[in-house]
Structure 1
Amino acid sequence: MHRAIDYLMAAGIGSTISFMVVFNTRFGEVASMPVSFIFNHSIGIIIITIIMAFLRIRRGTPAVRQKAPWYLWFGGAFGFLILNANFITIVNIGASLAMATAVFGQSLGSLMFDLTGFMGRKTYPISRKKAFTLSVSFIGIAIMASQGGTFAIPYVVIGILTGVITMIQMVYNSRFAAYKGVFFSARNNVLSGLLIAITIYLFTAAEETVNAFSSLAEVPIYLMLGGGLLAIVVVSGTNHVIPRIPALYSALLLSSAQIITSIVIDYYLYDLFSGRLLLGAVIILLGMMGNVWVDWQDKTARGKPSVV
């Protein structure tokens, strides 16, 4: 029962990621990406702090936290790269293809963790069948990308790298959460991302960012609050669920929900839809489902006693 709930949570988080990314992108289009990033992260910090204060009052005692390694305190750096890369890809190639390339990258990232056991993950071997199913997903990416021609190639590469970084961030933050707790980890992720962003924007887009704050009145309230609120759900949810299921399963559930949701978003918000996008998305999902099936077969085979 608990495992089923974890799977449902992973799928729900995947769908939430698509909405969060689109909210942040639309916010950035109306104002600017630096303003969107700074505003949403500030909202996130305030809300998480309120939640933590409420939980402490309810509990009556401070939460017990362990000392975490110094290198786990900088999860916001990944978030900074991811949100800015998502903005670039969605603006140029649409939500469907941007999410599809990102989730393919998440699969690559999950395989890296499964093979190496990096950051304390359990190791899972890769077979030729797994390599084949991953190749099937890549074919789906190629079909979707072909709609944009050669123009789309650089953004497809950015999208794939964004997915790899996303998977690294999820595991990285979940490791920090194991020491400090889900909400502490989520707040630190948002806070470190905000500090990194302010530092970078100060040297690269200071005047543009200050001027863009004057356009906040033009931003709908759901965009102003939506990205920050959904970010809390995503970060807290992944901190909870990622350590509880294999990386390959979490990648499948997250990616499937992201692709399906992004197709719906593209249709209703951007009036963007084609048979090629749908076909590519279906092929990607088939490849990912094949990955899970092969993984299940491999585990079943390893669990059987050997015949002498």
Structure 2
Amino acid sequence: MSLQYLLALLAIAVGGACIATQAPINSRLSSHVGDPVTAAAISFIVGAIILCAIAVARGAVPSLGQMAAAPWWAWVGGALGAVYVWAAVWSVGTLGVVTLVAALIFGQLTAALALDAIGAFGLQVREISWTRIAAIALVAAGLVLSRL
């Protein structure tokens, strides 16, 4: 494995730990502000401020022309993230973090299998294989076991 591959795995593992930690933190915020949608909005505002500051510091602010050239669907990512953050805030108190993350990963893998198979959004097409299906089935089994 290349160093770039190992660093990518480390980065996404850290991102996963952030997701697991984000849900209970945002849930606590929701209990203080009185609404999971408001808590999700505050989470996005804080994140947007930090990311904008980093982009400006790096000199990576795009022009209006660059932004206008993006396909319409490239703008949907924030909305998809908002659905996740709201769903996590709303459900973590009921499910607990382990079950929430297991369900999250199951949903991610199921969607990823379909996205890879059709080469969505310019991705390289990757065939559906029995090993990939088995991986999703094992996560589903883990999801069930997390509730026993």
Using the size of structure 2 for normalisation, the TM-score is 0.82
Q: Could you tell me which residue of structure 2 aligns to residue 186 of structure 1?
A: none
> Counterparts of 1:8-47 in structure 2 under 5 Å?
8-32=10-34, 33-47=36-50
1:93 and 2:89 correspond: no
Cα deviation 1:100-126 (Å, max 9, x = unaligned): 111111111111122111111111112
Amino acid at match of 1:96: V
- 2: CA distance, partners of 1:127 / 1:52: 39
Map residues 202-281 of structure 1 onto 2, 5 A cutoff. Answer: none
The two structures have a TM-score, normalised by structure 1, of 0.42
User: Residue 134 of structure 1 is aligned with which of 131, 136, 143?
Assistant: 136
Deviations 1:49-96 (A, max 9, x none): 32222222xx8xx65773211232232221221112112221112111
In structure 2, how many angstroms separate the alpha carbons of the residues matched to 1:111 and 1:6?
20
Asked whether the 8 Å contact 2:33–2:39 carries over to 1, the reply is: yes
Against the structure 1 CA distance between its residues 5 and 68, is the aligned structure 2 distance closer, same or farther, given a 3 Å change threshold?
same
Aligned to 1:123: 125
Q: Distance in 1 between matches of 2:136 and 2:49?
A: 40
Question: Deviating runs (4+, > 6 A) in structure 1?
Answer: none
Distance 1:52 1:131, change over 3 A: closer
Tell me: CA distance 1:70–1:135, structure 2 relative to 1, closer, same or farther (3 Å): closer
Aligned partners of 1:44, 1:132: CA distance in 2, in Å? 35
Quick one: structure 1 residues 106 and 9, their matched pair in 2 at CA, closer, same or farther if it must change by over 3 Å?
A: same
Tell me how large the CA RMSD over aligned residues is: 2.2
Counterpart CA distance in 2 for 1:129 and 1:6 is 22
In 2, distance between residues paired with 1:69 and 1:110? 21
- The alignment-based identity, stated in percent, is 23
Structure having greater relative contact order (Cα 8 Å, sep ≥ 6): 1
- Structure possessing the higher radius of gyration over alpha carbons: 1
Tell me the number of residue pairs that the alignment of Structure 1 and Structure 2 aligns. 142
